[in-house]
Chains A and B, each alone.
Chain A
Amino acid sequence: MRKLFQKGWRPALVLILLFIIWETCTNIFDIQKWLLPAPSQIIAEAISGWAVYSGHLASTIKLIIFGFSIGSSIGVVVAIGLHLVPILRQAFYPLLIISQNIPTIVLAPLLVIWFGFGMLPKIIVITLVCFFPITIALLDGFRQTNRDLMHYMQMAGATKKQIFWKLEFPHALPSLFSGLKISATYSVMGAVISEWLGASKGIGVYMTLASSSFRTDRVFVAIFLIVILSLLFFSLIVGLEKRLIKWKPKEEGANESS
């Protein structure tokens, strides 16, 4: 806790300063609430409006968890498949990259046309944004397997299966986590975008409703909720990483506080 305080007081100070400037500016220039609400007004709305958005929030969290689990599982499976079968890797790698060049914002309405307004098209959108960073990171991790260790395993007569589970997979675990961290934040964005395009509930819906009725304070509440969700999700993955990967040597001077 003390460490958190030592590390965190600088960025926290910057944020607080930013909010103070924002607050005074809205007061001095007398900016209308529907144009740019003051932080105090946003906080007030966040507290009083809990009943309004709590349902939306729950629905979005559920969507993120579903989408992220499915997306990352597919990412891992695709990476392992492409790694173990080099022919597949050559054949599908370009397709992987193309899949990321299709703008989600264009694809999402199409998915709604094909699959309706249910969970399915939303989960497809999240999966599409989620699996790519994981697959790429994991494939890189597999490829960078230490050659000396590989040599040792081969000489010792290890089977392909043993080499994979005893060497390649644990070796790629840190890479997997860097992919997961990126995907965790993407999945929150993916969920909100997919809700924009047609849903009855969710932060995305709450946001569209708020902006079309000029409730700018609610739009900002939504933005903060999204940021907080992303951070929460990110730190969840970081926590999991710390628990699973105990063997990484601490970076030199990482704990130094100057």
Chain B
Amino acid sequence: MSHLEIQQINKSFGVNTVLNDVTFSVEEAEFVALLGPSGSGKSTLFRIIGGISQPSSGSVNLNGENINGKRGSISYTPQTSSLMPWRTILDNVLLGQEITGNRDVEKALQMIERAGLKGFEQSYPHELSGGMQQRASFIRSILSPQSLILLDEPFSALDEFTRLDMQKWLLSIWSEYKRSILFVTHNIEEAIFLADRIIVLSSRPATVKKEFTIPFARPRDEAILLSDSFLQWKKRIYQEMREQ
């Protein structure tokens, strides 16, 4: 049984169909990238998985249980770091736990140190760089009790160098804590470098065009970014995306 199953989701607003028969799954502790052009209905899909809006038809199952319209079952990290500016980093990181119940300050401090944010526990988000804020908001997701993490283009606002560092950091944290991750991006390289599986979405109405299983062994080194097979993959996926 898969961890998250998206079954034949359709969503239309009036005559405008946004999602058309979207079906895919995420296994336990798997890293899945959702690749699609901007405006392909990814955020609508996220709203449905997060339970904020209802699909026109189809179902979302988590651990075999239907979670259509049920909030709080997944942990979500938006595009911008979305830390609350009036909370210190420590309080921000604990927010996910606070909503569902207990604060575990000890573990939070540990994670903050692990993310290289030691000394910033009592700082406010505006005192941190973009990459640091993004790391803090990712810690918030890891600390939240939900076992599935949705990442919505988390690195799109960062520059190339910071992004690569963040990708490596994300992989190392993920291999340690083993959560299921659904990662949305429109960057092909990023998807290949990070994911176990890539799901390519077509543009409106969004539907699953193709699924690729990425064979690169873990832990992955940034050296593979320049290897021939990596470029082959990039080419294949690029061609797939170009075909309409």
Bound together, the chains give a CA A196 to CA B123 distance in angstroms of: 51
Give the contact-size bracket for chain A.
Answer: 20 to 34
Q: Is B161 an interface residue (CB 8 A)?
A: no
Interface residues of A in 141-170 (CB under 8 A from B): 146, 148-149, 151-158, 162, 166-167, 170
Most buried by A among B51, B74, B85, B98: B85
Given A166-B95, A166-B98, A157-B72 contact (CB < 8 Å): yes
Point out the residues of chain B lying under 8 angstroms from A170, CB to CB.
84, 86
A156 and B84 form a contact (CB under 8 A): no
Binary A-proximity of B113-128 (CB < 8 A = 1, otherwise 0): 0000000000010100
Given A149-B82, A156-B75, A162-B99 contact (CB < 8 Å): yes
Binary A-proximity of B201-230 (CB < 8 A = 1, otherwise 0): 000000000000000000000000000000
Which listed segment binds B: A75-83, A203-211, A242-250?
Answer: A242-250
Closest-by-CB residue of A relative to B76 is A155
Point out the residues of chain A lying under 8 angstroms from B73, CB to CB.
157
Closest-by-CB residue of B relative to A153 is B99
B52 and A157 form a contact (CB under 8 A): no
Bound together, the chains give a CA A171 to CA B87 distance in angstroms of: 11
Q: Is B56 an interface residue (CB 8 A)?
A: no
Q: Is B79 an interface residue (CB 8 A)?
A: yes
Q: Which of A146, A157, A173 contacts B99 (CB 8 A)?
A: A157
Q: Is B78 an interface residue (CB 8 A)?
A: yes
A155 and B52 form a contact (CB under 8 A): yes
Given A156-B144, A170-B84, A170-B86, A249-B126 contact (CB < 8 Å): yes
Q: Which of A148, A157, A248 contacts B79 (CB 8 A)?
A: A148
A151 and B85 form a contact (CB under 8 A): no
B78 and A148 form a contact (CB under 8 A): yes
B78 and A151 form a contact (CB under 8 A): yes
Point out the residues of chain A lying under 8 angstroms from B72, CB to CB.
155-158
Bound together, the chains give a CA A166 to CA B73 distance in angstroms of: 19
A155 and B71 form a contact (CB under 8 A): yes
Bound together, the chains give a CA A151 to CA B77 distance in angstroms of: 10
Closest-by-CB residue of A relative to B127 is A249
Q: Which of B52, B80, B96, B150 contacts A154 (CB 8 A)?
A: B52
Bound together, the chains give a CA A24 to CA B228 distance in angstroms of: 89
Bound together, the chains give a CA A158 to CA B78 distance in angstroms of: 16
Point out the residues of chain A lying under 8 angstroms from B79, CB to CB.
148
Given A170-B84, A173-B86, A245-B86, A152-B126 contact (CB < 8 Å): no
Q: Footprint of B on A, CB under 8 Å?
A: 146, 148-149, 151-158, 162, 166-167, 170-171, 173, 245-249
Q: Closest 6 A-B residue pairs measured CB to CB? A: A157-B72, A155-B76, A155-B50, A249-B126, A157-B71, A247-B86
13 example contacts (A-B, Cβ-Cβ < 8 A) are as follows: A148-B78, A149-B82, A152-B76, A152-B78, A154-B52, A154-B71, A155-B52, A156-B71, A157-B71, A158-B99, A245-B86, A247-B86, A249-B126
